[in-house]
Amino acid sequence: MTTKTSIDHIGDYVGQTVCLEGWLYNKRSSGKIVFLQLRDGSGWIQCVAVRSELPEAQFSACQNVTQESSLRVTGTVRAEARSQSGYEMSIESVEIVGHASDYPVTLKEHGVDFLLDHRHLWIRTPRQRSILKIRSEILLAMTEFFANNGFTRVDPPILTPTSCEGTSELFHTKYFEEDAFLTQSGQMYMEAAAMALGKVYSMGPTFRAEKSKTRRHLIEFWMIEPEMAYVTHAQNLEVQEQFISHIVQHVLENCSAELHVLERDVSKLTSVTTPFPRLTYDDAIAWLQENGHEISWGEDFGAPHEAAIASAYDRPVFIEKFPTAIKAFYMQPDPDRPEVALCADLLAPEGYGEIVGGSERIHDYNLLLKRFEEHHLPLEDYQWYLDLRRYGSVPHSGFGIGLERTVAWICGLEHVREASAFPRMLYRLTP
Ligand code: 4AD
Ligand code: MG
């Protein structure tokens, strides 16, 4: 039996005969020789068929195999300095597993709507594979950070009876006879979990019926939400900067081939070291006004404002202490200045905008009750959340990081849609 291996391990088999299982990415041929570019998900390798060395049927199979047909190739591995993988394989036999005719996603340029319609095939290309690989590594780096820092993973529900981040963007569904909503954020559940386990985090899909068609918005996106008991606003920011720099470092160390495929300027990532600059909302407004932007105190930032501020730095920048009036109901007001909240948004460099939103949470029962009334939220639905302030309430903080925006930034993508294997967007539910 020939040893079966994958392209990423091919270097261990120089001079030996192995079997690779994959798909045909591309092909070049002359009358005497055929170069098959094989991909198997772990990498790409050139396999060479020589007419004089193969039975006629085998050679013609190599000549006729079509793009994205699946095949098993057996042959001898050799080092090849000119090839990108550093290796090449001479074909001794080939078996077509599944024929592909008229593969739609050819190697020429396609329009984005066509590609999105064929997303199930588009993800086979080197660029899309690299993005998905980096996304996976980012999740791994996050998990590693949490494990190394005493966090426990807790999974909040997807089907919820109430809203967390405001009622206008909820996805409604029926829960038998009751009304239910797809989760916008697991935060409130994570606050309960933090009171049980101290430091917790969640990772999972969240849903926002936002009518925003921008390059930063998805309808379904993944959020990672840590929550920490006895942690203040200032400590929350320290965790965030360590977390982000750990992720970037992990990707730089483990994904150099993928970053190369994406033609990512890695110097933009190597500068992402702690501490990150901190700017108050007040300072940000003043800076924007000095730099010719029309914005006044009390207004929220738009994408151009965020891009302008971020462009002044070579690493992510915190904007902290936003006006309480424009932020979520659960945010702790600054004791010295209750008109601003102990919160921060983290803006990614290079115009990628807000990737993290976080805050210290209100821990005082009466103040939280007052906020529910001001925001006209139905108290009966939130009694369990108020219980957290009735029974051993403590100062606590947390944040939510958008996975697709983080992937888009680290990979240097034009649009967040490429950061998801099957993006859900305003006018797209398929495939
Ligand atoms: O700032 P947001 O709305 O914060 C929360 O939901 C808090 N409850 C999180 C927490 O403190 N536990 O969302 C957090 C992040 C944003 O910074 C952004 O990265 C991402 O989630 N996000 C989106 N990503 C893609 N498409 C959308 N429509 C997004 N909305 C938010
Ligand atoms: Mg936000």
* CA of residue 50 to ligand 1 center, whole Å: 55
Is the pLDDT score of 166 beyond 90? no
Q: What percent of the chain has pLDDT over 70?
A: 100
CATH architecture of the domain 3-98 equals Beta Barrel (2.40)
| Atom 31 in ligand 1: residue holding the nearest Cα | 402
**CA 87 to CA 360: how far, in whole Å?**
53
Other Cβ atoms less than 10 A from the Cβ of 386: the count is 15
| Chain centroid, CA 184 distance in Å | 17
Q: Which two tokens stand for residue 388?
A: 């957290």
Q: What pLDDT is stored for residue 422 in this prediction?
A: 98
Other Cβ atoms less than 10 A from the Cβ of 70: the count is 16
Nearest-atom index, ligand 1, CA of 190:
12
Q: Which of 30-39, 167-176, 307-316 has the lowest average pLDDT?
A: 167-176
CB 39 within 8 A of CB 25: yes
Is the pLDDT score of 163 beyond 90? no
Is the pLDDT score of 212 beyond 90? no
DSSP assignment letter at 319: E
Q: What pLDDT is stored for residue 206 in this prediction?
A: 97
Q: What is the mean pLDDT of residues 318-334?
A: 97
Residue to substitute in 163, 164, 165, 223 for testing ligand 1 pocket (most ligand atoms within 8 angstroms of CB): 223
| Chain centroid, CA 368 distance in Å | 33
pLDDT digits (tens, 9 = 90+) for 269-283: 999 999 999 999 999
Nearest-atom index, ligand 1, CA of 208:
28
Q: What pLDDT is stored for residue 165 in this prediction?
A: 83
Query: CB within 5 A of ion ligand 2: which residues?
Result: 357
* CA of residue 208 to ligand 1 center, whole Å: 9
Is the pLDDT score of 211 beyond 80? yes
pLDDT digits (tens, 9 = 90+) for 58-94: 999 999 999 999 999 999 999 999 988 899 999 999 9
* CA of residue 346 to ligand 2 center, whole Å: 9
**Between vectors from CA 368 to CA 365 and to CA 374, what angle results, nearest 5°?**
145
Q: What pLDDT is stored for residue 9 in this prediction?
A: 97
Q: What is the mean pLDDT of residues 99-113?
A: 95
Choices 3.30.930.10, 3.40.1180.10, 3.40.50.1970, 3.40.50.880: CATH for 119-419: 3.30.930.10
β-bridge mates for residue 200, sequence order: 152, 227
Q: What pLDDT is stored for residue 393 in this prediction?
A: 98
Q: Which of 37-46, 110-119, 209-218, 232-241 has the lowest average pLDDT?
A: 209-218
Is the pLDDT score of 168 beyond 90? no
Q: Which two tokens stand for residue 421?
A: 């294997």
Where do the domains of the chain lie? 3-98, 119-419
Work out the angle between the directed axes of helices 126-148 and 233-254 (0-180°, nearest 10). 130
| Atom 23 in ligand 1: residue holding the nearest Cα | 402
Q: What percent of the chain has pLDDT over 90?
A: 95
Rg of the chain in Å (alpha carbons): 26
Q: What pLDDT is stored for residue 162 in this prediction?
A: 87
Residue with tokens 């944040």: 399
pTM: 0.97
* CA of residue 223 to ligand 2 center, whole Å: 12
Nearest-atom index, ligand 1, CA of 346:
17
**CA 326 to CA 342: how far, in whole Å?**
13
Task: Indicate left, alpha or beta for 386 from its phi (over 0: left) and psi (-120 to 50: alpha).
Answer: alpha
Q: Which residues contact 51 (CB under 8 A, 6 or more apart)?
A: 31, 32, 33, 59
CB 359 within 8 A of CB 323: no
Residue to substitute in 213, 221, 222 for testing ligand 1 pocket (most ligand atoms within 8 angstroms of CB): 221
Ligand at minimal distance from the CA of 326 is: 2
Query: Could you give phi then psi for residue 335, rounded to 5 degrees?
Result: -60, -30
Q: How confident is the model at residue 167 (pLDDT cuts 50, 70, 90)?
A: confident
Ligand 1 cavity residues, CB under 6 Å: 164-165, 185, 187, 208, 210, 217-218, 221, 223, 225, 354-358, 398-400, 402, 404-405, 416
Q: Which of 56-65, 207-216, 390-399 has the lowest average pLDDT?
A: 207-216
* CA of residue 327 to ligand 1 center, whole Å: 12
